[in-house]
Amino acid sequence: MVCNSSLVSTAQSPDKPRRNSAATKRRLLAAATAEFAARGIAGARVDRIAAAAKANKRQIYDYFGDKDGLFDAALEAHTGGIHEATLPIDPDDVVAYAGRLFDYIFEHPELSRLVQWARLEGRVTPASYDKRIGSFRRRTAAIEEAQQRGRINSRLTPEQVLTLIESISVGWTIATTEFLADADRESRNRQAQRTLIIDSVRRLLT
């Protein structure tokens, strides 16, 4: 039996555009993350993003609508990543959440920059609102359970505890200028910084 290679190619072709589309979107998101992190929303250029992603500029509008939509998608991709990496919070070891959060922020400094640009330029991402609310409720519920078990003190509300942990675990990226100015130096000090954050959170909560 003779196999017609053109028929095989035709049969397999419907999946190829989908694979190419997904790969193009990933490249655009990666390029957009770098561009937005460096220049903010207003300063970012879609032509630079397209060139860096080896894509057509038109594809940005086809996939994401406009530059704001692309920023939202880049920020939400990282937001989803941080939730997957740091959740759930274990009621028996709330302090460990601070360590996981520190690790993610350290390994993804672009997220801190994206969040700062969004705040500076008044940009919100309404599409991710429901996800953020759901994540927030799960985290505060775990903290409340930890308080009920006597694992951490109850002087603060669960919401205040969560804000405290995240402020300490994330805020150092703003206060520690070396993190932005000299990533190599900060990498050498990573463990010391992580230990300091975890110890600080533990002292405040127990």
Residue range 130-173, pLDDT digits in tens: 777 888 899 999 999 999 999 999 999 999 999 999 999 988 77
Amino acid at 57: K
Structure confidence at residue 165 (pLDDT): 95
54/136 Cα distance (integer angstroms): 37
Q: Which helix (H) or strand (E) holds 33?
A: helix 15-43
Q: What's the mean pLDDT in 14-32?
A: 80
Q: Which two tokens stand for residue 54?
A: 């080896």
This prediction's pTM: 0.73
Torsion angle, CA of 169/134/158/172, rounded to 10 degrees? 10
Radius of gyration of the chain (CA): 21
Tokens of 89: 């919070």
What domains can you pick out in the chain, each with its CATH number? 68-205 (1.10.357.10)
pLDDT exceeds cutoff 70 at 97: yes
Whether 16 has a pLDDT exceeding 60, the answer reads no
Sign of the CA dihedral with 149 first, then 131, 38, and 103 last: positive
| Average pLDDT value for the chain | 84
Distance, CA of 40 to CA of 120 (rounded, Å): 9
pLDDT digits (tens, 9 = 90+) for 98-134: 999 999 888 888 888 888 888 888 876 655 667 778 8
